[in-house]
């Protein structure tokens, strides 16, 4: 379980399962992980009874109020850290890992007969194992391929497994060790494809929970046996990352569907996120360019409050509606200077006005030699040299063109 003890305690309280005691959040014995393995310490919900279990003699009715045989007001409950893999109280020395693995689960049909390993526990030491869900492996290709699946309640509530607990104290040691086992039964219809066995799951805060934990029931009965049946509620089951199969690995992605969009290891999600990121970057770039255009061109044309020209009101109209320029003193002055000058009093009336030189067209055969005077060539400058006409298409020119230079 990934929750802290305080968080699990609050959620159980909301589901009508109060706990008067619970481990501290900084208790290192409680394993907070997404990959809980046998030998780890988890949270167990049980009646607050001595380590030897519930009393075998009937309790005084004056001290315990009961409703249909189930203890109510006088029964106190507690959350306790226990190790997964039950070790019976008569064990003298710590068993090896292989022997402990034999007691991580307990078949429900093994409790229907008297005697056996579980005889004392089933009568006096019944408990609830609190978790968020469990893993089961789907075998394919004759067991060569094993695909892990995560199973949880569809409503998101914590899971409550039926279990048995015990307390052992090895020889020569003062510390006590609390351990538990999970009771299994036949799989329901939903999980038949996955495995033929599943944990016994109780509805949180139900009468079945109260009956199972009732310390007044110190003898095994058919009623208790009848509680051990396949779960009839709705479950969610989906494949998850195979990395959960290695003990020591731990990641929140272990409880996320392998094909979910939230799963970062899904290669399809990787390319989908790349396309989404590229699209968002392009959209952001387009918006940025539009903002820049508005800032640089948005105030280019401003309309004054007293402006009533149609060119402003209708920018699509022609220039026929543009206002005509008004004549002012300044414009009269410029107009007078533009008039052709008259007879000058200084007597320079014989000076010819400057003539406008017209360039010869490119298709003329030669440059005209007529004029009021011929500019002499200078040994210093040759700026006034006339350009030679373009050659004819056959590359020849008239002989007279050479004397014009």
Query: Nearest to residue 135, comparing CAs of 4, 30, 38, 259?
Result: 38
Q: Is the pLDDT of residue 312 over 80?
A: no
Looking at 134-138, 156-160, 363-367, which range is the least confident one?
363-367
Please report which helix (H) or strand (E) contains residue 105, including its range: strand 105-107
Residue with tokens 């060119």: 311
CB atoms < 10 A from the CB of 79, how many?
Answer: 22
Per-chain mean pLDDT for the chain: 78
Q: Three-state DSSP class for 277?
A: helix
DSSP assignment string, 191-226: GTTT-SEEE-EEPTT-HHHHHHH-TT--S--HHHHH
Q: Is the pLDDT of residue 106 over 70?
A: yes
How large a percentage of the chain has pLDDT more than 90? 55
Per-residue pLDDT band for 368 (boundaries 50, 70, 90) equals very low
pLDDT recorded at residue 54: 86
Q: Are 124 and 56 in contact (CB under 8 A)?
A: yes
pLDDT recorded at residue 244: 95
Between the CA of residue 258 and those of 152, 265, 267, what are the distances in Å? 15, 8, 10
Q: What is the pTM of this model?
A: 0.64
Q: Is the pLDDT of residue 58 over 60?
A: no
Between the CA of residue 177 and those of 89, 149, 372, 401, what are the distances in Å? 9, 31, 131, 126
Dump pLDDT digits (tens) for 161-180.
999 999 999 999 999 999 99
pLDDT recorded at residue 153: 97
Domain ranges of the chain: 5-134+156-233
Q: Are 221 and 231 in contact (CB under 8 A)?
A: no
Per-residue pLDDT band for 371 (boundaries 50, 70, 90) equals very low
Q: Are 212 and 128 in contact (CB under 8 A)?
A: yes
Q: What angle do CA 239, 240, 243 make, to 5 degrees?
A: 140
Q: Is the pLDDT of residue 272 over 80?
A: no
DSSP 315: T
Q: Are 216 and 59 in contact (CB under 8 A)?
A: yes
Pairing state between β 197-199 and 177-186:
antiparallel
Interval 224-252 mean pLDDT: 95
Burial (CB count within 10 angstroms: exposed 0-12, middle 13-18, buried 19+), residue 105: middle
Calculate the dihedral angle through the C-alpha atoms of 56, 62, 68, 74, rounding to the nearest 10 degrees: -80
What is the distance between the alpha carbons of residues 106 and 180, in angstroms, rounded to a whole number?
10
Pull the structure tokens for residue 388: 């030679």
Interval 273-302 mean pLDDT: 61
Phi/psi zone of residue 185: left (φ > 0), alpha (ψ -120 to 50 degrees), beta? Answer: beta
What is the distance between the alpha carbons of residues 380 and 271, in angstroms, rounded to a whole number?
78
Phi, psi of 80 (to 5 degrees): -140, 145
pLDDT recorded at residue 389: 58
Per-residue pLDDT band for 222 (boundaries 50, 70, 90) equals very high
Q: Which residue has the higher pLDDT, 127 or 54?
A: 127
Superfamily of domain 5-134+156-233: SOS response associated peptidase-like (3.90.1680.10)
Continuous H helices in 105-177:
119-124
Q: Which residue has the higher pLDDT, 390 or 178?
A: 178
Q: Is the pLDDT of residue 309 over 60?
A: no
Residue with tokens 């903002």: 291
Dump pLDDT digits (tens) for 200-216.
999 999 999 999 999 99
pLDDT recorded at residue 394: 54
CB atoms < 10 A from the CB of 332, how many?
Answer: 9
pLDDT recorded at residue 74: 78
What is the distance between the alpha carbons of residues 46 and 126, in angstroms, rounded to a whole number?
7
């Amino acid at each position: 379980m990934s929750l802290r003890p305080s968080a699990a305690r609050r959620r159980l309280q909301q589901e009508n399962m109060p706990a008067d005691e619970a481990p501290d959040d900084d208790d290192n014995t409680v394993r907070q992980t997404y990959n809980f393995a046998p030998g780890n310490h988890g949270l167990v919900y049980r009646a607050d009874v001595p380590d030897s279990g519930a009393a075998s003699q009937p309790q005084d009715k004056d001290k315990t109020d009961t409703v249909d045989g189930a203890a109510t007001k006088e029964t106190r409950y507690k959350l306790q850290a226990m190790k997964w893999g039950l070790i019976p109280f008569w064990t003298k020395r710590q068993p090896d890992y292989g022997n402990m693995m034999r007691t991580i689960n307990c078949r429900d049909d093994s409790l229907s007969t008297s005697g056996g390993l579980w005889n004392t526990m089933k009568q006096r030491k019944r408990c609830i194992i609190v978790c968020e869900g469990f893993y089961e492996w789907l075998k394919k290709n004759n067991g060569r391929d094993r695909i892990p699946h995560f199973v949880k309640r569809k409503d998101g509530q914590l899971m409550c497994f039926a279990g048995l607990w015990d307390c052992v104290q090895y020889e020569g040691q003062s510390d006590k060790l609390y351990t538990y086992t999970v009771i299994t039964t036949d799989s329901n219809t939903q999980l038949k494809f996955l495995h033929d066995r599943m944990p016994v799951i109780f509805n949180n805060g139900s009468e079945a929970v109260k009956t199972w934990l009732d310390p007044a029931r110190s003898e095994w009965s058919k009623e208790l046996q009848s509680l051990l049946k396949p779960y009839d509620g709705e479950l969610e089951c989906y494949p998850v990352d195979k990395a959960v199969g290695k003990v020591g690995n731990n990641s929140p992605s272990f409880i996320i569907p392998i094909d979910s969009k939230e799963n970062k290891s899904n290669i399809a999600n990787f390319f989908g996120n790349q396309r989404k990121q590229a699209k968002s970057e392009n959209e952001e770039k387009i918006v940025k360019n539009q903002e820049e255009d508005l800032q640089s061109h948005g105030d280019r044309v401003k309309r004054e409050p007293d402006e009533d020209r149609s060119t402003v009101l209708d920018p699509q109209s022609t220039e026929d509606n543009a206002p005509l320029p008004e004549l002012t003193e300044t414009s009269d002055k410029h107009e007078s200077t533009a008039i052709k000058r008259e007879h000058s009093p200084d007597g320079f009336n014989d000076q010819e006005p400057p003539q406008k030189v017209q360039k010869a067209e490119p298709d003329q055969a030669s440059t005209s030699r007529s004029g009021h005077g011929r500019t002499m060539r200078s040994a210093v400058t040759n700026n006034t040299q006339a350009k030679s006409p373009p050659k004819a298409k056959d590359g020849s020119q008239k002989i007279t063109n050479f004397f014009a230079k």
